[in-house]
Amino acid sequence: MGNLRLTTALAGALIFSSVTTAQAADFSFPPQPVVSVPSPIPVPEYTNGWYVRGDIAYGLMEDPDLSQSGASFSRESLDDTWGFGAGFGYIFDEHFRADLTIDYRLDADVKGTDGLTGSVYDTGVQSTVGLANIYYDFAAGADFRPYIGAGIGFSVNETDSLSVFNGGALVGNVAGKTETSLAAAGMAGFSYKLDGGWLVDAGYRYLYLGDAKTGNINPTLPEVSIDDISSHEIRFGLRYEFR
């Protein structure tokens, strides 16, 4: 009797095990949800480095103030002129860079009329300008890079000989003179990246050139001062970055 019970229990266990195994074989876990992982956003790599530049500019000159001992001038004018420049600079980080530039501005005619005698004073002035400039690039790393900047330095202003006309006739002549003055600038523009480290640069610059003077050889024609020379420049140039 005992053996029968044992045999029955074993048979039941075998049957239960077979059924459980079959049910387990038929059961499958639901698939795991697919979680999309966004691709990493590339981070631009900024490196410090040197650059060189060359520029051409057309300056729209503001009318200067002419002054001379014992005279009062009116109808002062200073012709617009071209300028050329070059420089080198350094890129500090993704926003800031700085450079040293030297520019030469071609001779521009200066005129003024003596309000007392009606005599017309006629000379010319050319300038060599050295500036230390700093810039802020708004979109560093992009192809199109707007920027603002400021500069300070010196201007060497050289005048031609001064001719004085009255009634169309030459009544006097005074030699020119070289004068060194404070110069300053404010800039805004954009750079556009080309291939191989080249960038084209276009922008506006307000340039303050200080004062210029004529000579004082003839006591009857004391020196004439050309004060507050300034220009609104449209500039185009190229930069090459060594990085």
Q: Which domains does the chain have, with CATH numbers?
A: 49-242 (2.40.160.20)
C-beta of residue 165 within 8 angstroms of C-beta of residue 210? no
What is the CB neighbour count within 10 angstroms for residue 20? 10
User: Lowest-pLDDT range, 22-31, 101-110, 211-220?
Assistant: 22-31
Higher pLDDT, 28 or 155: 155
Please determine, for residue 214, whether its predicted confidence score (pLDDT) is greater than 70: yes
**pTM summary value:** 0.78
Q: Which of 182, 180, 183, 187 is nearest to 232 (CA)?
A: 187
Question: What integer pLDDT is reported at residue 3 of this predicted model?
Answer: 54
| 102 strand-pairing partners | 86, 130
Q: What is the pLDDT, as a whole number, of residue 120?
A: 95
Is the pLDDT score of 8 beyond 70?
Answer: no
CA distance 155 to 150: 16
What pLDDT is attached to residue 7? 52
- Tens of pLDDT, residues 91-120: 999 899 999 999 999 999 999 999 888 999
pLDDT in tens, 63-99: 999 998 878 899 999 999 999 999 999 999 989 999 9
Mean pLDDT of 205-210: 98
Cα four-point dihedral sign 169, 172, 177, 179: negative
pLDDT tens per residue across span 44-59: 556 789 999 999 999 9
Q: Compute the mean pLDDT over every residue in the chain, rounded to the nearest whole number.
A: 86
Q: Residue 131 in contact with residue 144, Cβ under 8 Å? A: no
- Please give the pLDDT value at position 243: 74
Q: Can you give the pLDDT at residue 132?
A: 98
Name which residue leads in pLDDT, 220 or 214. Answer: 214
pLDDT in tens, 123-159: 999 999 999 999 999 987 789 999 999 999 999 999 9
Phi first, then psi, for residue 30 (nearest 5°) are -65, 150
